[in-house]
Structures are given as structure tokens and as C-alpha cells.
Amino acid sequence: MKNIKIGNSNLSGSQVVLGCMRMNDPKKDPVKVIQTAFDAGINFFDHADIYGAGKCEEIFAKALAQTSIQREDIIVQTKCGIRPGIAFDFSKKHIIDSVDASLKRLDMDYVDAMLLHRPDTLMDPEEVAQAFDELEKSGKVRHFGVSNQNPMQIELLKKYVKQPLIANQLQFGLMHTGMIDSGIHVNMTDAGSFDHDGSILEYSRLNDMTIQAWSPYQFGFFEGIFIGNEKFPKLNEMLDTMAEKYNVTPTGIATAWVNRHPANMQTIVGTMSPERIQEIAAASDIVLSREDWYALYMAAGNILP
């Protein structure tokens, strides 16, 4: 498993991240899931205070205690700022209270990273800066970042916060390619030319922010998985072809496609299947050829102008 430097920090974490949003699935064994991931080289675990209304963090803590894994051997990240169905909330009080609650559920003294979960248009960046300072000084949070934010939102934060913003979680995968489409379709007027994200890909590379690609196997907004889906015959035919060529599974190929980008992204995988985790990890070091990468991109319905 390849380890990469996270942003401009001293953190080095696995390129594949285990997302813990589904850890409250009663049909799964969280102890086996965590141990399998770690044994496969995944040392980075991503949480959020809203996952399972906090239950996922609690389950993770109890399961982790039953593994052979030491706290210092893993990177634990959580997110805060979403109050489901009510508001986004980047107030100082909410950020600090959320981190305290996450630490209690995780049964930990600190998290390696905390991300602001989606943008809060009512954000007072000075309040965020105060919260970050307090959390860093207390040792409760060691690194900070954001999710689903565009360059100007990040620049606004950076004007006030002292801490580097090391990561930005953005949806990216074979069926969610907006970040790269606009760069390929520069100086064109077709749909692919529209830049919805303010050149966030290039901004992230210029500013040493690690992109953490979430839901890499989904199409639409949580509409389903494209792998093995009859709605996407051409893409799945190509995934099968590449899987045979590289001696891995289609899921592994979809992961390798994200990892191949020179932006050096992390891929967040949310599966709670130990077998699927092993499949993904087995393909994590595959480097797709340029021709194969573009063949998959076009099989997903994209064109090269």
C-alpha cells in the first residue's frame, strides 16, 4: 500500500482511506473490518460526527480496542459542521463542542485531522480561527482541513486561520469527473467546459492540499454504484477488460483510476466488506498506463475534444 504525504503536513498516510460512514451496519463485523483494512496497509480512517448520528465513532472505538492495532499506528480523521436538516454550523461553539463529542465517542485524546464538513455560508472566519487555535493548543486536533470547498472559500479561511489546511474532500471517480472535464475542454463551449469548482484540482496542487476523493464508485448523488450496473454497459465492459489485464477486480481498477492522477489523491472507500477491502488494497499499487486511464475515462461517457 502506497503511503503519501498529506498536504504540507508531517502526516504520511495510506493512499486508500477507509471511510467509516457505514460502520453501524449491524450485518458487519467492525473488528474484522478494521483489522483487515490495517493488515492490508490502510492506516487512515475517516469519520464524521453525523455518521450514524455519532454511533459510527462509538462502534469504531469499541472495535478498535479489540484489535491488535495501537492508536499511534493509525491516522484518525473526523469532520464537523453539519446539523442534519437544520443548518451548516461553523460557529466556534459548535466546532469545539463537536470535536469534544467526537473524542468522547472515539475514546481518544486527539484526532490527527479535523475537517470542516461542507461550506457554511454564515461562517465567520474569525470564529473558525479561534476554534482552531483552541483545539490545536489543547492538543485535541493536530491538523485541519475542509470538505467540498472551492478555492475562494478556502482562501477566505486561510486569511484568518494560522494552521495549514491540509486536505479537501471532494467527490471524484469515473462517474464524477467534473474536476478534470473542464480542464480537458478549455476554450470550448460544450457541457464539459463548464468549471463548477473554480479550478479546484489545479488550486489543490498549487497549494499542497491533498484531495480526498469520496464516493469513488457512485454515480450521481448517491444514486448507486456503477460497477456491475447494467446502466453502464460500456464502462463495465472496459472495467472487466482492465481487471483481467491487471489481474485485479473491477473495483480495484476503479480505485487505481483515481490513484493514477498525478495530483496524488487519497481514495476514500466506504465498504464494510473485508473481502472488498482486500480487493481494493490489492490494486492500490497498480499504475494504469496513460492509454488505459483515458480508455476508462471515455468508456464512462466522456469525450476527448
| pLDDT over threshold 90, residue 222 | no
Q: What is the pLDDT of residue 278?
A: 96
In a domain, 305, yes or no: no
| Residue type, position 235, single letter | L
Q: What is the pLDDT of residue 221?
A: 76
The predicted pLDDT at position 173 comes to 97
pLDDT of amino acid 223: 84
Question: Mean of the pLDDT values across residues 179-191?
Answer: 92
Residues with Cβ within 8 Å of residue 181, at least 6 apart in sequence? 192, 193, 302
Residue 49 corresponds to which amino acid? D
Residue corresponding to grid cell 475514546: 107
Q: Are 20 and 33 in contact (CB under 8 A)?
A: no
Q: Is 10:258 a contact under the CB 8 Å cutoff?
A: no
- Measured at the CA of 250, the angle between CA 43 and CA 297, to 5 degrees, comes to 100
pTM for the predicted model, two decimal places: 0.96
228 pLDDT higher than 90 = yes
Query: In this structure, what CATH number is given to the domain that contains residue 160?
Result: 3.20.20.100
285 within some domain: yes
d(CA 81, CA 104): 17
Q: Tell me the per-residue pLDDT of 230-284, one tens digit each, with 9 for 90 and over.
A: 999 999 999 999 999 999 999 999 999 999 999 999 999 999 999 999 999 999 8
- Three-state secondary structure of the chain: CCEEECCCCCCEEECEEEECCCCCCCCCCHHHHHHHHHHCCCCEEECCCCHHHHHHHHHHHHHHCCCCCCHHHCEEEEEECEECCCEECCCHHHHHHHHHHHHHHHCCCCECEEEECCCCCCCCHHHHHHHHHHHHHHCCECCEEEECCCHHHHHHHHHHCCCCEEEEEEECECCECHHHHHHHCCCCCCHHHCCCCCCHHHHHHHCCCEEEEECCCEECCCCEECCCCCCCHHHHHHHHHHHHHHCCCHHHHHHHHHHCCCCCCEEEECCCCHHHHHHHHHCCCCCCCHHHHHHHHHHCCCCCC
The answer to the question of residue 79 being in a domain is: yes
Number of domains in the chain: 1
Sign of CA dihedral 191, 192, 198, 200: positive
Please tell me the predicted confidence (pLDDT) of residue 80: 98
Do 28 and 278 touch, CB atoms closer than 8 A?
no
pLDDT digits (tens, 9 = 90+) for 92-124: 999 999 999 999 999 999 999 999 999 999 999
Instruction: Compute the Cα dihedral for 220, 223, 226, 232 and give only its sign.
Output: negative
What digits encode the pLDDT tens for the residues 8-65? 999 999 999 999 999 999 999 999 999 999 999 999 999 999 999 999 999 999 999 9
Residue 220, pLDDT > 90, answer no
Question: 26 in a domain, yes or no?
Answer: yes
Q: Domain residues for 51?
A: 3-299
Whether 149 maps to a domain, the answer reads yes
Among this protein's residues, is 217 annotated catalytic?
Answer: no
For residue 304, is it within any domain? no
pLDDT tens for 138-180 read 999 999 999 999 999 999 999 999 999 999 999 999 999 999 9
